[in-house]
Amino acid sequence: MKLAYFSPLNPQPSGVSDYSEELLPYLATHADIDLFVDGFQPNNQELSGFRCFDYRKDPAKLDRLNEYDATIYHLGNDHRYHSGIFEVMSRHPGIAVFHEYIFQDFFLGQANELKNWNLYLDELEACHGPHERAKAVESIQRGDSPPQAAAPLDYPLNCRLARSAEGIIAHSEWNLARLRQVAPDVPATRISLPVKVLNPTLRRAWRKVILCSVLFQLPLSA
């Protein structure tokens, strides 16, 4: 199987970058994978064996997507690292991995950075109708934030993303159930996040830290 893989990767500091870098070596034992990146080069040496195509530098690289058995898009709510992925997915549908359910921050951040409120308003209207767009416009014209931003669970702005996907992967039953309601005609499944098992010595030490924090009400720090 040949896969095209779209995801943030380090040096982009994202949890999705870390997730992909842990997943890719294992996934590569079952598939031939090419990485597609948005204007940067991965700096993790463990990924040096993967072919990497920068579609921001050379958009013609996207013409080869029909050569793959599947295209995987990792979707998160940080517009800095996912704008290019969203853009490509809108033109080349594939399998969408939803690392989030709510994408308010993505569209708000993109609209603010590009000084173009239509990026947010168009998505709001597509997902929730012209009445909600009119309410948001009224608030923006007063210099306020859109009222929908204060209720992100009611206005997750994910319907176009979900309904345009060829398939959906979620990491929790909570997310999966809601995405199935949003896009009932799109095949969807849950794949749990990977968990590293600590060796016995570290596991015992961590249990002691947790016990002490409970007994003495000490905050756990990262």
Sign of the dihedral through C-alpha 180, 182, 183, 188: negative
Domain encompassing residue 178: 2-197
CB atoms within 10 A of CB 61: 17
Within a domain: 132: yes
Q: Is the pLDDT of residue 44 over 80?
A: yes
Looking at the domain assignment, is residue 221 inside a domain? Answer: no
Q: What is the pLDDT of residues 102-156, one digit of tens each?
A: 999 999 999 999 999 999 999 999 999 999 999 999 999 999 999 999 999 999 9
Share of the chain above pLDDT 90, in %: 84
Per the structure, the count of domains in the chain is 1
Q: Is residue 211 part of a domain?
A: no
Q: Please say whether the beta carbons of 36 and 4 come within 8 A.
A: yes
Domain holding 107: CATH number? 3.40.50
Calculate the dihedral angle through the C-alpha atoms of 110, 115, 118, 121, rounding to the nearest 10 degrees.
60
Confidence of residue 193 (pLDDT cuts 50, 70, 90): confident
Q: Is residue 218 part of a domain?
A: no
* Overall pTM > 0.95: no
| pLDDT value, residue 192 | 82
